[in-house]
Amino acid sequence: MKQAILDDENESRGAAMLDTGDIADLFRECDPDGYTAARRRFYHEVNLNPFKRHPDQLLRLIEWSFCDWFSYECAVDASSEDDEDDDGFPQYRVGPDGDGRSPFRVAGERLHDCGRINDDQLADMRQIAETNFATMFWIRDSNAAKGRLVLEDLIHGGEYSVWCPPVAAKYDGAHGGMIVNRIAKVDGAWRPCGLPVYETRYPNTPDVRKGLIREFKRLDYHPDFPGLIRFFYGRAKDTGLDWEDMAAAMGE
């Protein structure tokens, strides 16, 4: 397995990460059938229009989003975690959803067992595996000097102070707009741990924010991660609301 540990900036130290593309590649080798079935299910739920030519940039975004989803949200068959081939290469198998540890966590623990990451790095990865979630955020505040954003979960409620200097600088001074991404909490600090599905700074008025929250509540809209991607880029509608509806609500 190729090791790819990324350190995000923080006041004290970075948070150890793994490249989710590498994790997906690992399982494609270990369990081709399980990997293919998971990938087919993801793309079925996203439901891109097969009769439309999609930009390469969008196709890359969705493929990377699959890697994030596979690594964080799929499960590893527990009975396969200690399996190896004659060369000592792991023989993991994809298990039923919700019935096992995530590929992200299993890969991190494998690297630790092999002596390729230390205890602190493994602790980071375990926290990421336990706390990560993806949703649609409204930007309440962004401060480049502090390297932080205050993000409100439009779908489930709640506010999160998120440490991410590059994004805080990009949206410095913003008090509105949207970011759809996955975040996780490591040593008390929330930070992004996935590729953004969607970002926009405008429209950013309080009325737009209230309108979106009202519509999501009225429709009882609680999409999973493939549902979020389908909302913006897919062909079919989710619970009567799609991107065209949302764009109209936002005044675009």
CATH of the domain at 235: 2.40.50
Q: How far apart are CA 64 and CA 196, in angstroms?
A: 10
Q: Which amino acid is it at 93?
A: R
Angle, vertex CA 137, rays to CA 131 and CA 139, nearest 5: 120
Give the percent of the chain with pLDDT over 90.
64
Mean pLDDT, residues 217-246 taken together: 76
- Same structural domain, 110 and 142: no
Mean pLDDT, residues 190-201 taken together: 95
Instruction: Give the pLDDT score at 242.
Output: 54
- Same structural domain, 239 and 183: yes
For residue 245, give its domain range: 133-249
- Same structural domain, 115 and 148: no
- Same structural domain, 67 and 163: no
Scanning the chain, the segments in alpha helix (DSSP H) are 20-30, 32-46, 56-73, 103-113, 119-131, 165-170, 206-218, 225-233, 243-249
The pTM of the full predicted model, rounded to 2 decimals, is 0.87
pLDDT digits (tens, 9 = 90+) for 74-133: 999 888 878 777 766 778 888 877 678 999 999 999 999 999 999 999 999 999 999 999
The residue out of 131, 155, 190 marking a domain boundary is 131
- Same structural domain, 187 and 86: no
- Same structural domain, 188 and 226: yes
- Same structural domain, 114 and 231: no
Instruction: Give the pLDDT score at 121.
Output: 96
- Same structural domain, 119 and 143: no
- Same structural domain, 121 and 13: yes
- Same structural domain, 94 and 196: no
Residue 225 reports pLDDT greater than 60: yes
The residue out of 75, 105, 131 marking a domain boundary is 131
Q: How many CA atoms lie within 13 A of 61 on its CB side?
A: 20
Per-residue pLDDT band at 202 (split at 50, 70, 90): confident
Instruction: Give the pLDDT score at 1.
Output: 37
- Same structural domain, 138 and 200: yes
From the CA atom positions of the chain, what is the Rg in Å?
19
Mean pLDDT, residues 201-223 taken together: 86
The residue out of 113, 131, 149 marking a domain boundary is 131
As given in the structure block, the two tokens for residue 21 are 């593309």
- Same structural domain, 115 and 29: yes
Mean pLDDT, residues 46-70 taken together: 93
Query: How many domains in the chain?
Result: 2
As given in the structure block, the two tokens for residue 150 are 């205050």
As given in the structure block, the two tokens for residue 55 are 């930009």
pLDDT digits (tens, 9 = 90+) for 37-49: 999 999 999 998 8
